[in-house]
Amino acid sequence: MRPWRRLIALLLFLVALTPCAAWADTATFVVNTNSRASFKTEAPLETIVGTVASPGGTPLPERAVTGTMNVDLAKPQDARGTIKVDLNAVRTGVDRRDSHMRSKDFLDSEANDANRYAIFDVKQIELAGPLVPGKDVPAKIHGTFTVRGKPVDRQAEGTVTYIKLTPEQAEQQKRFGFTQDNLRVKMKFDTKFTNHDMKVPQLLILKLSDDILVETDLILVKQ
């Protein structure tokens, strides 16, 4: 082979390897059925807590909290992904109130499928230290929170915990969807109904605050 042909072949080989090397340690983590999300509003006359959790059972039913994250455990700050919460699954303990929240006046999630999900797109993660199995690491999670098609940038405070199972433990827990590498991500952040084109009626101003505290407790398992 002529020298210039060998050089071209070597360059093509290196170009082909570069993406593989960059992504070799990045894995896909998916949200497990044990995950949940909630919101809380505190008004002068009432505190309302709404919870979304995936029901258990076999075969697995449709999950209410879903999502995927691309994570390099050695560089978790570069993680990117999307978490989706089914707003039709919000439960506050009062059926009539739940039905009203799903209506066009608020979430508009029941009749309008485009508004069915609250979506958090993870853009950046700041960690106080490396991920060590079994240790809660404080984190700041930057992302975009979208409800009713209205996105707002948010910084969530929370913790990330790396849960490393032995092969024997993973074998025992695989029936529940776990693998050897798992992450538990807890986060909370503030938003407002008005950020997402929802307005609290004057009649309810003493029972429903415009301020919302959103919290999640996510279990992500490596695929």
**177-191: burial string, b at 16+ Cβ within 10 Å, e else:** ebbbbbbbbbbebeb
Closest CA to 154 of 109, 106, 195, 209: 195
Would you give the end-to-end CA distance of the chain in angstroms? 43
- List 125's β-bridge partners, or say none: 141
Q: Find the Cα–Cα–Cα–Cα dihedral 97, 98, 103, 108, rounded to 10°.
A: 140
Domain ranges of the chain: 25-222
CA distance 34 to 219: 6
Please check whether residue 209 is in contact with residue 200, taking contact to mean a CB–CB distance below 8 angstroms: yes
Which top CATH class is 25-222? mainly beta
* pLDDT value of residue 3: 53
Task: Per residue of the chain (223 residues), give pLDDT as tens.
Answer: 555 555 445 444 444 444 443 344 889 999 998 899 999 999 999 999 999 987 654 444 578 999 999 999 999 999 999 999 999 999 999 999 999 999 998 999 999 999 999 999 999 999 988 999 999 999 999 999 999 999 999 999 999 999 999 999 999 999 989 999 999 999 999 999 999 999 888 878 898 999 999 999 999 999 9
Please check whether residue 29 is in contact with residue 68, taking contact to mean a CB–CB distance below 8 angstroms: yes
**98-117: burial string, b at 16+ Cβ within 10 Å, e else:** beebbeeebbbbeeeeebbb
* pLDDT value of residue 183: 97
* pLDDT value of residue 21: 37
CA distance 64 to 86: 5
CA distance 201 to 9: 69
